[in-house]
């Protein structure tokens, strides 16, 4: 580990010498504007493989884009999805923190639990929590830090493990979910460019993503306990830590508060369950395809966590005596928003960088160019799968949205590999592997600054370089073993999901001309797009 520590120390020192993240994004915006001018002047372009339309680089200093920049400035900030999610959840979580609920619950929860099991549990819950999408970032990741602190372990190690599970394992899970419907829904029209009879199967990657989970949990456990936590060293709580986890037995007031908070949690969960299970349930779209019917529920999870944290925090505070009037609740929510002020400033510049990058069309051009490089590489079939993993991982550093990248990559990669005998499901699986593993090492990922903010609540001197240094081992480990798993899966021709194999037989022209038939026992379930 000598060379590895030397490299990570170099990354940390170099990263921490960078300016404040706010000004990093300011400089990135300035560089982006300059590159966009050059790209537009040079005529950078790519051909949309679906529509056949040319995608051309757009100058960000054109009259149209400058007008958009200033007219849409308020909308660009308020439309930045992570900002709304974070502020809503933190309104409730701030009350739960300041009443002492988190402290008491974590002490009670870890009093008899083996400390060594915290890491795999955090990573596994993070991976499963991907079904909650953004809510997993704003809820699980900070709570993982609290959980580790309550167990006497370094809270930033908990944040790192939670971030690795939620983000580096973004495509892994034990059940298909909305991401499967989204990505395989994009795969379907790409495959139909070659075979109009091909239909998407929402469970087409089920076995593969389950295997990803079984692979990433022990790998993340090993990285956390053997590399990250020893690197961080011993931890001792400071007086202004975000959650004072405390020591010793619970007081009578805290025990009473936990009972009341538990009852309130059951009421909240029961209320949301009723809105899913009862007839004409408001959080179910009865007219949608089966795999998409719970989309309203998924979209309401951020609000659900807000209500859960707020009401359980108030119930605990009243029973424990830390909430004496409604003014205490208002004060606690105000203090929670004050803690998020640095992130709001950062979100302002990050939102504009993301928006302007999209306006320039440079992300789409990069994605299509990367796919074309793969197609011209001359690699054999399994080499192409490795290449897809690597290229998806590299592009992911610059373009964060999984669906946006796949929308441009799929129409090139899917038909290309179908002609080589590789199924659309296998190509999608290889893309998903690469798309996940570099989420945690790029400051351009929209939740990276938020995770940095969570770390700085425990250690004010923790910088961007420090966060990158502790996340790189996860990314490299997941990429190496994930690439091996992808190649081995294809070589062994294991099923990717029910009715979904690695290989694909190119149909004859007569077979390809037959329309898709989603009805009948042999037809796969059709994904909603």
Nearest to 266 by CA among 306, 302, 311: 311
Q: How far apart are CA 66 and CA 72, in angstroms?
A: 10
The whole model's pTM is what? 0.70
Q: At what angle do helices 402-419 and 381-396 cross, to 10 degrees?
A: 170
Q: What is residue 524's predicted lDDT score, i.e. its pLDDT? A: 32
Q: What is residue 50's predicted lDDT score, i.e. its pLDDT? A: 55
Which portions of the chain are predicted below pLDDT 50?
512-513, 515-529
Nearest to 436 by CA among 172, 213, 179: 172
Q: How far apart are CA 108 and CA 150, in angstroms?
A: 9
Q: What is residue 3's predicted lDDT score, i.e. its pLDDT? A: 63
Q: How far apart are CA 389 and CA 382, in angstroms?
A: 11
Q: What is residue 14's predicted lDDT score, i.e. its pLDDT? A: 66
* Burial bucket for residue 251 (CB in 10 Å: 0-12, 13-18, 19+): middle
Q: Which two tokens stand for residue 460?
A: 């004010």
Q: What is residue 507's predicted lDDT score, i.e. its pLDDT? A: 63
Q: What is residue 387's predicted lDDT score, i.e. its pLDDT? A: 84
Q: Which two tokens stand for residue 165?
A: 């599970």
Strand partners, 217: none
Identify the DSSP state of 497.
Answer: B
For the beta carbon of residue 9, count every other beta carbon within 10 angstroms.
13
Report pLDDT digits (tens) over 21-41: 788 788 989 999 999 999 999
Q: What is residue 517's predicted lDDT score, i.e. its pLDDT? A: 40
Give the residue extent of every domain in the chain. 2-512
Q: Are 439 and 167 in contact (CB under 8 A)?
A: yes
Distances (CA, A) of 327 to 90, 101, 230, 311, 341: 18, 18, 43, 15, 21
Q: What is residue 302's predicted lDDT score, i.e. its pLDDT? A: 79
Q: How far apart are CA 166 and CA 398, in angstroms?
A: 19
Q: How far apart are CA 346 and CA 24, in angstroms?
A: 10
């Amino acid at each position: 580990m000598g060379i590895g520590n030397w490299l990570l120390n170099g990354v940390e020192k170099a990263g921490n010498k960078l300016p404040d993240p706010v000004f990093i994004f300011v400089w990135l915006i300035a560089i982006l504007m300059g590159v966009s001018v050059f790209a537009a002047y040079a005529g950078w372009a790519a051909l949309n493989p679906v529509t056949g339309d040319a995608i051309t680089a757009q100058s960000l200093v054109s009259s149209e884009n400058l007008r958009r920049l200033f007219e849409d400035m308020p909308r660009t900030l308020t439309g930045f999805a992570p900002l709304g999610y974070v502020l809503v959840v933190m309104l409730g979580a701030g009350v739960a923190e300041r009443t002492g609920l988190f402290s008491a619950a974590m002490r009670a929860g870890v009093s008899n639990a083996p400390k060594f099991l915290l890491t795999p549990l955090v990573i596994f819950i993070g991976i499963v929590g991907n079904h909650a999408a953004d809510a997993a970032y704003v809820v699980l990741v900070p709570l993982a830090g609290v959980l580790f602190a309550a167990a006497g372990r370094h809270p930033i190690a908990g944040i790192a493990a939670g971030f690795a599970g939620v983000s580096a394992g973004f495509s892994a899970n034990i059940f298909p979910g909305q991401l499967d419907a989204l990505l395989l829904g994009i795969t379907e029209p790409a495959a139909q460019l070659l075979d109009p009879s091909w239909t998407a199967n929402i469970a087409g990657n089920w076995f593969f993503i389950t295997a990803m989970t079984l692979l990433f949990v022990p790998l993340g456990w090993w990285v956390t306990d053997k590399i990250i936590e020893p690197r961080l060293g011993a931890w001792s709580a400071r007086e202004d830590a975000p959650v004072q986890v405390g020591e010793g037995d619970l007081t009578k007031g805290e025990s009473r508060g936990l009972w009341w908070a538990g009852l309130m949690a059951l009421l909240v969960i029961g209320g949301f369950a009723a809105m899913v299970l009862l007839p004409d349930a408001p959080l179910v779209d009865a007219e949608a395809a089966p795999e998409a019917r719970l989309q309203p529920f998924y979209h309401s999870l951020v609000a659900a966590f807000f209500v859960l944290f707020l009401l359980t925090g108030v119930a605990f505070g009243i029973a424990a005596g830390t909430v004496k009037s409604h003014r205490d609740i208002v004060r606690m929510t105000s203090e929670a928003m004050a803690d998020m002020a640095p992130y709001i400033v950062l979100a302002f510049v990050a939102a504009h960088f993301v928006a302007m990058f999209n306006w320039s069309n440079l992300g789409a051009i990069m994605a299509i160019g990367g796919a074309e490089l793969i197609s011209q590489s001359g690699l054999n079939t399994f080499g192409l799968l490795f290449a897809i993993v690597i290229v998806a991982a590299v592009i992911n550093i610059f373009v964060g949205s999984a669906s946006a990248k796949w929308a441009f990559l799929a129409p090139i990669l899917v038909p290309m590999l179908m002609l080589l005998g590789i199924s659309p499901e296998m190509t999608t699986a290889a893309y998903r592997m690469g798309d996940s593993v570099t989420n945690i090492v790029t400051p351009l990922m929209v939740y990276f600054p938020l995770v940095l903010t969570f770390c700085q609540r425990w250690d004010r001197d923790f910088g961007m370089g420090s966060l990158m240094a502790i996340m790189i081992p996860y990314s490299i480990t997941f990429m190496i073993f994930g690439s091996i798993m992808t190649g081995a899966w294809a070589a062994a021709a294991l099923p990717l999901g029910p009715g979904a194999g690695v290989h694909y037989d190119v149909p004859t022209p007569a077979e390809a001309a037959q329309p898709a038939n989603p009805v009948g026992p042999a037809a796969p379930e059709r994904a909603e797009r």
